[in-house]
Amino acid sequence: MKVSTILDHIDSGHMALPEFQRGYVWNRDQVKGLFDSLYKKHPVGSLLVWTTQSGAAQFRGEKALAPGVVKLLLDGQQRITSLYGVARGKPPAFFQGNKESFTGLYFHLGKEEFAFYQAIKMKDDPLWIDVTGLLKSGFGGLGSHLSKFSQDPALSTAVADYGGKLGKILAILDTDLHVEEVTGEDKSIEVVVDIFNKVNSGGTKLSKGDLALAKICSEWPEARREMNLKLEEWRKAGFDFDLDWFLRNMNAILTGEAKFQYLHNLPPEDIQEGLKRAEKAINAALNLVSGRLGLDQNQVLFGRYAFPVLSRYLDRKGCQLSVQEQNKLLFWFIQAGMWGRFSSTVESYLDQDLALIEDLESGLDRLIEQTRLWHGGLKVEPGHFGGWSLGARFYSVLYMLSRVGEAKDWGTGLPIRKNLLGNSSSLEVHHIFPKAQLYRKGYSRSEVNAVANFCLLTKETNLKISDELPETYFPRVEESHPGSLASQWIPMDPELWKLENYHRFLEARKTLLAEAANRFMLELLGGDDTLLGASAPVDEIVSIAMFSHGGIQTEDEEKTLQELNEWVVQQGLPAGTLMYEAADPVSNQPAAVFDLAWPNGLQQGLSDPVAVLLNEGSDLLRLAIDRRYRAFTNIEDFKRYVENDILALTVSTPGVG
């Protein structure tokens, strides 16, 4: 089927997108690549459509389908949406995404390359052609272009050549794409989704949550939009959740079960009521977790997959808990996060825990006891703080202890509390023993970035301390604000403040942190240590925390990356994150540490995620590529990418606000 015919079918309502499909996720690099391939007549793959009756079709968007038989795109959404967006100059009716990804595509007739509009680069060069304008005018518009070239002495000799290249662009609409069809009355939505997943095995498969949402949207079309609005509210508050997570909470509240299949047969009015109840319960849970535990941002929310249990319990109690109930529920939440209760087999453990809280009288005690039996003990040991990097689970515990206890800032002597500091971004992670000094002494990145070498300080205090050694600045801090060192679990033996005793300092501080964690746990339990049980195994949690690899290795490397980051900012682009934690998508635990990264791209939503990896092995490079990062191992290559591919995206496209 010709591209032009496919686009016409979308306009007429004979082709659409099934409801279960995710939104448009391509960026400008991918759009350029598609048009480059079509221009060169390279294969771009076939399409897969589901041919069904329009009356029964569950489709995306508000535009009505044509009567009779329609085709729903199963495989090819990103390609067809890109083609439609560039050819028509607007997104299709089913579009959900960032339309700037395909707005402002140009083609250079001399270099034969596609690029997105950049005023400085293109305004004085007549060989840059607006692809959308050309495709909309068709072959009838060729004359105006060729006439303009023939009147320019510098270009007139190549008019025929330019005409041929313009014709090749127009011929993109005549490209035949092979279309395979899924037909038959036996093709239920479950069967079609299974086919989609098999065909799309190289991309992101549809989850069970996608299927559940598709069925919900078939009877309540506004469901996806309503849920996305709630997710955006939480995102603005610092918590990044997805639709699957929201659905899991709603499912737990409505059915008491973890598996999405229990949502399938509920009437739309129950789903609508469930969404309201889930929003209320999740808000209550977030208020508890952020207000009582200080876990007030996405990075430190290590127990997010425990939320369906919190939501179910809170909903059944009308979101009105006694202080004792709040404390026990939070105790369980912390334990589930520390030991990775839901890092795998999420549904199985959720079902176990949801069943326990059906008894509102003894459910919380049974929940805690089940967790203790599962893990073999709930007491924290010093070795649990043996991990490194900001992604280690026990960094979240350190953050929590700093926010709920009497931890004080070393510059002001004030408690580190949200109500005093405002937004949590006012806090920064401070390396107690400065990185530069440790790297100079030959310590490895895991030693430099040990959790026990972290504390939270205000930005101003962090800058003032800079790279001073503890033996220099600790006495000054203690003199100005007595007790503030001990409030952050600093061992008070001055010998341990010396650089040569760094390892001894870490061991002593891990002991103090473990004692503080256990004191807080006992406080939540009202002093009843029978529920706390024995010490938890150490080896498992250490091995998980130490699984991370990569990261800055030397002082010189860190300086190079900081200078590179400053260069990026000078180009008018956002700063990247040094020592960025790349989490495993299933367990949400650290899988690697990227030296410098832009997880949302240098232009959010318009370009690929980017990572700069210096002096790293092939395993880390492969891991970054598997996570769809554009990885660079060379500074100059990265700079060329920024200059040639990204800077064009920072200038407004003509006609676009």
Kindly report, residue by residue over 43-54, the tens digit of the pLDDT: 988 888 888 877
Provide the token pair at 469. 């050694």
Determine which helix (DSSP H) or strand (DSSP E) holds 456, and give its type and residue range.
strand 454-458
The pLDDT confidence band at residue 654, using thresholds 50, 70 and 90, is very low
pLDDT at 194: 63
Does the pLDDT value for residue 486 go beyond 70? yes
Average of pLDDT values for 201-218? 64
Provide the token pair at 472. 């220099």
pLDDT at 80: 93
C-alpha distances (whole Å) from 212 to each of 224, 227, 425, 455, 575 are 11, 13, 36, 43, 38
Pairing between β-strand 47-53 and β-strand 69-75 as defined by DSSP bridges? antiparallel
Phi/psi region, residue 345 (left: phi>0; alpha: psi -120 to 50; beta: rest), is left
**By the 8 A CB rule, do 510 and 452 touch?**
yes
Provide the token pair at 79. 């390609």
pLDDT at 191: 66
Name the amino acid, one letter, at 412: T
The pLDDT confidence band at residue 616, using thresholds 50, 70 and 90, is confident
Does the pLDDT value for residue 294 go beyond 60? yes
What is the spatial distance between Cα 285 and Cα 614, in angstroms, rounded to a whole number?
Answer: 41
What is the spatial distance between Cα 277 and Cα 283, in angstroms, rounded to a whole number?
Answer: 10
Average of pLDDT values for 404-412? 89
Does the pLDDT value for residue 655 go beyond 50? no
Does the pLDDT value for residue 468 go beyond 80? yes
The pLDDT confidence band at residue 650, using thresholds 50, 70 and 90, is very low
Kindly report, residue by residue over 524-564, the tens digit of the pLDDT: 999 888 777 777 776 444 333 333 455 666 667 778 888 99
Does the pLDDT value for residue 414 go beyond 60? yes
Please give the biggest Cα pair distance in the chain.
92
pLDDT at 58: 65
pLDDT at 657: 28
**Residue 589: DSSP 8-state:** S
What is the spatial distance between Cα 574 and Cα 78, in angstroms, rounded to a whole number?
Answer: 27
What is the spatial distance between Cα 482 and Cα 475, in angstroms, rounded to a whole number?
Answer: 10
Q: Flag the least confident range among 29-43, 447-461, 579-593, 598-612.
A: 579-593
Map tokens 């190079």 to a residue.
560
**By the 8 A CB rule, do 552 and 579 touch?**
yes
pLDDT at 260: 83
pLDDT at 365: 93
pTM, rounded to two decimals: 0.70
C-beta pairs of 434-440 under 8 Å, 24+ apart in sequence: 434/466, 434/467, 434/468, 434/469, 435/467, 435/555, 435/558, 436/467, 436/555, 436/558, 437/467, 437/469, 437/499, 438/499, 438/502, 439/553, 439/554, 439/555, 439/558, 440/555
pLDDT at 321: 95
Give helix 346-356 / helix 307-316 axis angle, nearest 10°: 20
Residue ranges of alpha helices (H) inside 188-242 are: 189-199, 208-219, 223-236
What is the spatial distance between Cα 7 and Cα 174, in angstroms, rounded to a whole number?
Answer: 11
Q: Flag the least confident range among 23-27, 130-134, 341-345, 607-611.
A: 341-345
C-alpha distances (whole Å) from 600 to each of 211, 388, 575, 608 are 26, 24, 11, 7
Q: Which residues pair with 430 in a beta bridge?
A: 455
pLDDT at 55: 72
The pLDDT confidence band at residue 94, using thresholds 50, 70 and 90, is confident
Contacts of 79 (CB under 8 A, 6+ apart): 34, 44, 45, 47
What is the spatial distance between Cα 534 and Cα 307, in angstroms, rounded to a whole number?
Answer: 26
pLDDT at 218: 67
Q: What is the mean pLDDT of the chain?
A: 83
Q: Three-state SS for 179?
A: strand
What is the spatial distance between Cα 58 and Cα 65, in angstroms, rounded to a whole number?
Answer: 10
pLDDT at 545: 36
Does the pLDDT value for residue 509 go beyond 80? yes
> Could you write out the DSSP letters of every residue in 465-509?
HTT--HHHHHHHHHHHSTTTTGGGT----GGGGSGGGHHHHHHHH
Kindly report, residue by residue over 357-381, the tens digit of the pLDDT: 999 999 999 999 999 999 888 999 9
| Terminal alpha carbon distance of the chain | 35
Does the pLDDT value for residue 322 go beyond 60? yes
Q: Three-state SS for 308?
A: helix
Provide the token pair at 47. 């399409």
How far is Cα of residue 339 from the mean position of the Cα atoms in its chain?
22
Q: What share of the chain is helix, strand, coil (3-state, %, to 5)?
A: 55, 10, 35
Using a 10 angstrom Cβ sphere, with 0-12 exposed, 13-18 middle and 19 or more buried, the burial of residue 322 is: exposed
Q: Three-state SS for 647?
A: helix
What is the spatial distance between Cα 167 and Cα 290, in angstroms, rounded to a whole number?
Answer: 60
**By the 8 A CB rule, do 399 and 391 touch?**
no
Does the pLDDT value for residue 421 go beyond 50? no
Return the number of other C-beta atoms located less than 10 Å from residue 508's C-beta: 19
C-alpha distances (whole Å) from 142 to each of 145, 150, 158, 173 are 5, 12, 15, 15
The pLDDT confidence band at residue 426, using thresholds 50, 70 and 90, is low
Closest CA to 207 of 274, 250, 257, 259: 259
C-alpha distances (whole Å) from 490 to each of 251, 376, 410 are 45, 30, 12
Closest CA to 212 of 266, 285, 287: 266
What is the spatial distance between Cα 467 and Cα 472, in angstroms, rounded to a whole number?
Answer: 10
Pairing between β-strand 427-431 and β-strand 128-130 as defined by DSSP bridges? unpaired
What is the spatial distance between Cα 16 and Cα 464, in angstroms, rounded to a whole number?
Answer: 59
Does the pLDDT value for residue 81 go beyond 90? yes
Highest mean pLDDT, choosing among 172-186, 231-245, 256-270, 496-510: 496-510
Closest CA to 430 of 495, 511, 484: 484
pLDDT at 589: 55
Does the pLDDT value for residue 56 go beyond 70? no
